[in-house]
Amino acid sequence: MNKTRTATEFFAGIGPIRYEGPQSKNPLAFKHYNPDESVEGRPMREHLRFSVVYWHTIRGTGSDMFGVGTWQRPWEVGNNSIELALNRARAMFEFCEKLGAPFYAFHDRDVAPEGKNLAETNRNLDKVIKELKKLQRDTGIGLLWGTACLFAHPRFMHGAATSCNADVFAYAAAQVKKALEVTHELDGAGYVFWGGREGYSTLLNTDMKRELDHLGAFLQMAVAHKRAIGFKGQFYIEPKPKEPTKHQYDSDAAACLNFLRQYNLLDHLKLNLETNHATLAGHTMQHDLEVAGAAGALGSIDANTGDLLLGWDTDQFPTDIYLTTQIMLTVLKYGGFTTGGTNFDAKCRRESFEPVDLFHAHVGGMDAFARGLKIAAAIRQDGRLAAFVKDRYGSWDSGLGQQIERGKVGFAELEQYALKMGEVKTNQSGRQEWLENLINEFI
Ligand code: XUL
Ligand code: CO
């Protein structure tokens, strides 16, 4: 640990964070996340694959629409130079190393400043990528996924791939091409497409079919470029229903899957699901995970939580054990993460302005997921929940149900069956209240 620290230490006096067990009163220790502890035959570190985000943790300022930033970030010295970008990279790796997070994630523009033109911007990016590569090598910390920021610059006011302006589509394509190349260079485990402004503010000025066709073509081009450069990482699409636009095309897991199917992309992209996006779509996170899992497309998660009394994307750190239990029940059910992981797309509150608050936030999130993982494993080990669900569908395991599932009967045979039966006499209780009590036995 910390073998790479040479010059400046940005989180002086903090870390490394260690597992001290549930009795510990040390706020900067894990009570439940014990990376080497085996759960269902796999160490927790490999189950959870925690990742820290560049945009909130290193680049966030704590500003909101009513006020400027409040966060103290010792690496933010001087203007937006390459020197500052390199400092931010070192701060990121110091943080991940002290926290014990094996991965990080970034947008291209988080890591290096835009230049006068695209060529200069690409050169800026290359300079910082070189340093990130070195930091990855020195620490063993890897890139969970890269992405391109296609929403902050004014050129993307109408969207990127779905812009009404073909020049913007071209610019976005060039930017994603480069972002894919640097993600490949850093051996990223994946690449995320979040449709930053791919949606509309009003249908009065929008040709929806044309925009969706363009988005499909854009992703086809990305798949082709991935193949051309030999990038083996997993592509993901990240659903979100609104914000910044009134309606985002990738609104939820089901909408994304339908879009991917329509444009022949289902074999090439899985889903990166974010809790607060699912709740903004009117779903639970577990709902969207189940939708993705059923389609074989559960890829990765952006771990955070919203405030259900507020209608926007508050990106809070997850601390709710029911939430993490539900998430891990579904993740384990579908075989766990392979290329994906638990990426904290979350930020401290504006009032939590000290660097140490970043540690409190991540330690809490990691412990909440560790508990969710252990509780989900215990529920699975106990077996009563799974046995109940299996039994509930027992009528499909033999006889008529089995014949229906195997496509052996049609409406005519079923009519004969129903006429003979007279009335259904075999319904059983759904036992929701008992099942809720059962979950509480483990929490
Ligand atoms: C926005 C969001 C993004 C994506 C990456 O709500 O979640 O940060 O995760 O572009
Ligand atoms: Co996200």
CB of 345 sitting under 6 A from ligand 1: yes
Residue 272 Cα: closest atom of ligand 1: 9
pLDDT for res 79:
87
Angle at 212 between CA 286 and CA 180, to 5 degrees: 75
For the cut 60, the answer to whether the pLDDT of residue 49 exceeds it is: yes
CB of 250 sitting under 6 A from ligand 1: no
CB of 236 sitting under 6 A from ligand 1: no
Domains and CATH numbers, the chain: 18-382 (3.20.20.150), 400-442 (no CATH)
pLDDT digits (tens, 9 = 90+) for 294-348: 999 999 999 999 999 999 999 999 999 999 999 999 999 999 999 999 999 999 9
Q: Residue range 405-433: average pLDDT? A: 98
For the cut 50, the answer to whether the pLDDT of residue 245 exceeds it is: yes
- If one residue of 52, 53, 54, 55 were mutated to test the ligand 1 pocket, choosing by the most ligand atoms within 8 A of its CB, it would be 55
Q: What does the DSSP 8-state code read for residue 414? A: H
What average pLDDT is seen over the chain?
97
Main-chain phi, psi angles of 19, to 5 degrees: -80, 125
- If one residue of 240, 245, 316 were mutated to test the ligand 1 pocket, choosing by the most ligand atoms within 8 A of its CB, it would be 240
Nearest bound ligand to the CA of residue 145: 1
CB of 194 sitting under 6 A from ligand 1: yes
- Residue whose pair of structure tokens reads 């899985």 in the numeric block: 270
pLDDT digits (tens, 9 = 90+) for 171-209: 999 999 999 999 999 999 999 999 999 999 999 999 999
pLDDT for res 7:
67
pLDDT for res 246:
97
CA of 216 to the centre of ligand 1 (A): 20
Question: Does residue 32 have an active-site annotation?
Answer: no
pTM of the model: 0.97
In the set 32, 47, 56, 107, the catalytic residue is: 107
Residues 6+ apart with CB under 8 A from 320: 305, 368
Q: Residue range 391-401: average pLDDT? A: 98
pLDDT digits (tens, 9 = 90+) for 106-133: 999 999 999 999 999 999 999 999 999 9
Q: Residue range 377-384: average pLDDT? A: 98
CA-based nearest residue to 328, from 377, 284, 259: 377
CB of 147 sitting under 6 A from ligand 1: yes
pLDDT for res 96:
98
Cβ–Cβ < 8 Å for 108, 146 = yes
Q: Residue range 137-157: average pLDDT? A: 98
For the cut 50, the answer to whether the pLDDT of residue 4 exceeds it is: no
Residue 274 Cα: closest atom of ligand 1: 7
For the cut 50, the answer to whether the pLDDT of residue 252 exceeds it is: yes
- If one residue of 194, 252, 342 were mutated to test the ligand 1 pocket, choosing by the most ligand atoms within 8 A of its CB, it would be 194
Question: Does residue 107 have an active-site annotation?
Answer: yes
Nearest bound ligand to the CA of residue 191: 1
Residues in the chain: 443
CA-based nearest residue to 58, from 106, 97, 101: 106
pLDDT for res 2:
45
- Residue whose pair of structure tokens reads 């799974």 in the numeric block: 386
- CA-nearest residue for atom 7, ligand 1, is 345
CA of 59 to the centre of ligand 1 (A): 14
Residues 82 and 76: their CA atoms lie apart, in Å, by 12
Strand partners, 402: none
Q: Is the dihedral of CA 56, 58, 59, 63 positive or negative?
A: positive
CA of 315 to the centre of ligand 1 (A): 10
Strand partners, 146: 106, 191
pLDDT for res 80:
83
pLDDT more than 70, % of the chain: 98
For the cut 70, the answer to whether the pLDDT of residue 5 exceeds it is: no
For the cut 60, the answer to whether the pLDDT of residue 52 exceeds it is: yes
